[in-house]
Amino acid sequence: MNKVAITECKRYDSKKLREAILETIANSDFPTLEGKTVLLKTNILSDSSPDKHITTNPSFVKELATICKERGASTVYIGDSPALPGHSFKGEGCKIAEVCRETESQWADFSKKTVSKHIWQNIEVPIAAIVFDVDVVITVPKMKTHQLMYTTGAVKNMFGIIPGLNKSPMHLKARSPENFAKFLLSLYDARTPDYAIMDGIIAMEGAGPANGTPRQVGYIIGSKCGIAVDFAQATIMGYDPMDIPILNQAKKRDKNADDIEYTILNAKDCVIDDFRRIAVKKKNLVSSLILPFFTRYFDRKRASKRQEPIFIHDRCRKCKKCVDICPAKALSLDSGKIQLKEEKCIRCYCCHEMCPFDAIKID
């Protein structure tokens, strides 16, 4: 049984954050850090200002890094690798670089050294070597919705250990949400974090993980099991956890995946009924029983039934981030507008995630 601690914390106030983080880790099997090297794997989808609440809040990371050092960590590394990291990415815009300086932690450049691993269906992926070099990995996700996977969380946060643009082709290899969930869980198994602690103080609802709306939720969620943290998050958001592809697949792999002991607050008592969720598309008998036998063909068919991205050209600034990230090469900039080749689009919504101007919508 996995212990999960849900602690109330309404603001990113240093004193209150520290107290809430300490209470969380005291009640959820936090690892021993004395003399160990520690990586805080933050959630930096893009190097955005903290007031957009796209990334793990820097104040949250600062208090956690400080606590790790106080508990005897010999070195604390902090890092992530966005899909489009840019030259010499160090997390300056999201203020994580500032946290590194203030706490005397080391920025972890995930692209500097990689290790090749074969995961789901023998797919070879480059993984940041530092996750294997350190003694302890702590995943520090942000509570957010996600257009493709409905929620992002502790498991999905580990997708960032694949550096930069190496991530987007994985959507081509695992096109359906179910297969992408299997891929993410396999990646999670390649280097299972030793602890997970989620920043749910101000979450994101609606069109997450980048273009949604910030919402004060006021919770920190911690556990040695990231999957258990994600079960708690889904429950608080008002989802049936079995509707979340990652959690559904986790339960199929391990029937005890949702065997959770809540040590402080119970997630079922923290449900936000009016949380703006991504609408769940239910499977019918054909898609659940017959389609799995024709996976490659029907992955394309199911993708074609999901809503394609809608481009709002008046908001577009022609930065081409959507074009650069598209794994299917379905986008181009022609005649001053982003053009979509619908027959190529696999509905992974990477373009929506990367757009800094909220110029892409999923209806």
> 93 versus 297: which is more confidently predicted?
93
Q: What is the 3-state secondary structure (H, E, C) of the chain?
A: CEEEEEEECCCCCHHHHHHHHHHHHHCCCCCCCCCCEEEEEECCCCCCCHHHCCCCCHHHHHHHHHHHHHCCCCEEEEECCCCCCCCCCCCCCCCHHHHHHHHCCEECCCCCCEEEEECHHHCEEEEECHHHHCCEEEEECEEEEECCCEEECHHHHHHHHCCHHHCCHHHHHCCCHHHHHHHHHHHHHHCCCCEEEEEEEEEEECCCCCCCEEEEEEEEEEECCHHHHHHHHHHHHCCCHHHCHHHHHHHHHCCCCCCEEECCCCHHHCCCCCCCCCCCCCCCHHHHHHHHHHHHHHHHHHHHHCCCCEECCCCCCCCCHHHHHCCCCCEEEECCEEEECCCCCCCCCHHHHHCCCCCEECC
Predicted confidence (pLDDT) at residue 332 exceeds the cutoff of 60:
yes
| Residue ranges covered by each domain of the chain | 2-269, 290-361
* pTM recorded for the entire structure: 0.91
Domain 290-361 adopts which CATH fold? Alpha-Beta Plaits (3.30.70)
The percentage of the chain sitting over the pLDDT mark of 70, rounded to a whole number, equals 93
Query: pLDDT-based confidence at 301, cuts 50/70/90?
Result: low
133-173 confidence digits (pLDDT tens): 999 999 999 999 999 999 999 999 999 999 999 999 999 99
Mean pLDDT of 50-63: 97
Predicted confidence (pLDDT) at residue 283 exceeds the cutoff of 80:
no
For domain 2-269, the CATH superfamily is LarA, N-terminal domain (3.40.50.11440)
Predicted confidence (pLDDT) at residue 47 exceeds the cutoff of 60:
yes
68-116 confidence digits (pLDDT tens): 999 999 999 999 998 887 767 999 999 999 999 999 999 999 999 999 9
